[in-house]
Homo-oligomer: A and B are copies of this chain.
Amino acid sequence: MAVHLHVTRPEDLHAVAGVSIGVTEAGVRKANRKDLTVITLEPGAVVGAVFTQNRFCAAPVQLCKQHLAAGNDIRALVINTGVANAGTGEAGLQHAFAVCQAAAGLLNVKPEHILPFSTGVIMEPLPVQRIVDGLPKALAASTSDNWTLASQAIMTTDTLPKATSRQISIDGKTVTITGMSKGAGMIRPNMATMLGFMATDAAIAPGLMKALAHELAEASFNRITIDGDTSTNDSFVVIASGKAGTTEISHWDSDSARLLKQALLDVARWLAQAIVRDGEGATKFITVSIEGGRDTAECRQVAYAIAHSPLVKTAFFASDPNLGRILAAVGYAGIADLEQSLIELYLDDVHVATRGGRHPDYREEDGQRVMKQDEITVRVLLGRGQAQDQVWTCDLSHEYVTINADYRS
């Protein structure tokens, strides 16, 4: 079902020095599936992360924020799928902390050195004992080559694992960036997505990591939507192990720093777009690009109005160029002084609407031709200024309803 998303070959997923991954079957919710992942970091790794803005943020998200604030000396990430440990009240916090305590005991570090992550059903209690029992097995299986296995173990309704690598040369040394993500529904990240993890062996100053995670998320995970539902568990983590032997980056204005940041951004965007390509029921990958706004905020607002409209999304599913629905979404996006007579609409290279009405040369066959593609760009010119922004989304199909009507069964 996924749109132009192929499983990355294990040999193309490069290990990141200083980062080790173990995966096991803990039986969190279903038997016979890998559902527990532990990522251990050698001392000296620095971590940046951003989390969901959902006020019902999950217990592990709350703990992650506390642990990052308390020194940010992170030695392991523990990730379970099956149960989200969100909407679980005070007990949920105790459960998440118990997982951190158990992992800390095995690694001989403090609970504050552990970051916990959960994804799955909301409002069900976390089966703590199963996870605690699984930790030694996961650690025993830990190797630096386990990214492929981990990207499978963090899946929920994903149909394909999502992971990618880049290698660049800095100071004459090879620097690796590898990342993985999961998520296919409840996707409208507001800071980050369900789960996204990236690691590099480049050395980056600890003080830069939080802003880096934020900047990467803004240009990737914070520009995607599947169904407009912001999850309770969105977490995006960037790790720099510093094991490549390159000079520590303490500002972003050198050539090598810019090269690294571009490669990091490239991986983050690939991971974010992979989530859309594997969106629940997705049959099309749609880029919504808004230009001519007064600022990027209003461009993004219009882009999301289009990207969230069930009517626009079902029209894409049907390859039906019922494109007035896009104009309607532009109109209700919330820009109070929008002038409809200035609006231009393109579908790829086809000029559909001009001055707020159908373009005289527009022919339905042309719209139809683009709508039948599985990758489409919607381009709207607002005629208000110079700003622009874009988001990535997918269509709304029968399969989305089927998946979400059946998710827990």
Residue positions of A touching B, CB distance < 8 A: 53-57, 84, 86-92, 121-125, 185-186, 188, 190, 227-232, 308-311, 314-315, 317-318, 320, 322-325, 327-333, 335-336, 338-341, 343, 353-358, 396-398, 400-402, 404-409
Contacts and interface: CB of A to CB of B under 8 A. Distances in A.
A148 B142 CA distance: 72
A114 to B, nearest CB: 23
Contacts of A56: 327-328, 330-332, 338, 340, 343, 356
A320 B122 contact: no
Contact of A324 (B122, B230, B341): B122
Contacts of A229: 309-311, 325, 328-329, 332
B123 A357 contact: yes
30 contacts: A53-B332, A55-B331, A55-B335, A56-B328, A56-B330, A56-B356, A86-B324, A86-B327, A88-B358, A89-B355, A89-B357, A90-B357, A121-B324, A122-B325, A190-B332, A228-B309, A229-B311, A229-B329, A230-B332, A232-B331, A314-B400, A314-B401, A314-B404, A315-B405, A317-B405, A318-B405, A322-B407, A322-B408, A397-B401, A401-B401
A324 B124 contact: yes
Contacts of A324: 84, 86-87, 121-124, 232
5 smallest CB-CB distances across A and B, nearest first, come from: A122-B324, A89-B357, A56-B331, A318-B405, A123-B324
Contact of A357 (B88, B185, B332): B88
A256 B320 CA distance: 52
B124 A228 contact: no
A393 to B, nearest CB: 13
Give the number of copies in the complex. 2
A123 B358 contact: yes
Contact of A308 (B228, B318, B330, B353): B228
Given A56-B330, A229-B310, A229-B329, 18 more contacts: A53-B332, A55-B331, A55-B335, A55-B339, A86-B324, A87-B356, A88-B357, A89-B340, A90-B341, A123-B353, A186-B311, A229-B325, A229-B332, A232-B324, A232-B331, A317-B405, A320-B407, A400-B401
A310 B407 contact: no
Nearest to A403: B314
Given A122-B325, A409-B320, A356 B89 contact: yes
A59 B343 CA distance: 15
A409 to B, nearest CB: 7
A121 to B, nearest CB: 6
A357 B401 contact: no
> Which of A122, A339, A405 has the most CB atoms of chain B within a 10 A radius of its CB?
A405
Contacts of A190: 332
Contacts of A341: 89-90
Contacts of A330: 55-56
A298 to B, nearest CB: 12
A34 B358 CA distance: 27
Nearest to A358: B123
Given A324-B121, A328-B229, A332-B229, A338 B407 contact: no
Given A90-B341, A328-B229, A401-B396, A311 B185 contact: yes
A230 B230 CA distance: 21
A88 B188 CA distance: 32
Nearest to A405: B318
Nearest to A324: B122
A391 B56 CA distance: 22
Contact of A315 (B86, B188, B404): B404
Nearest to A397: B401
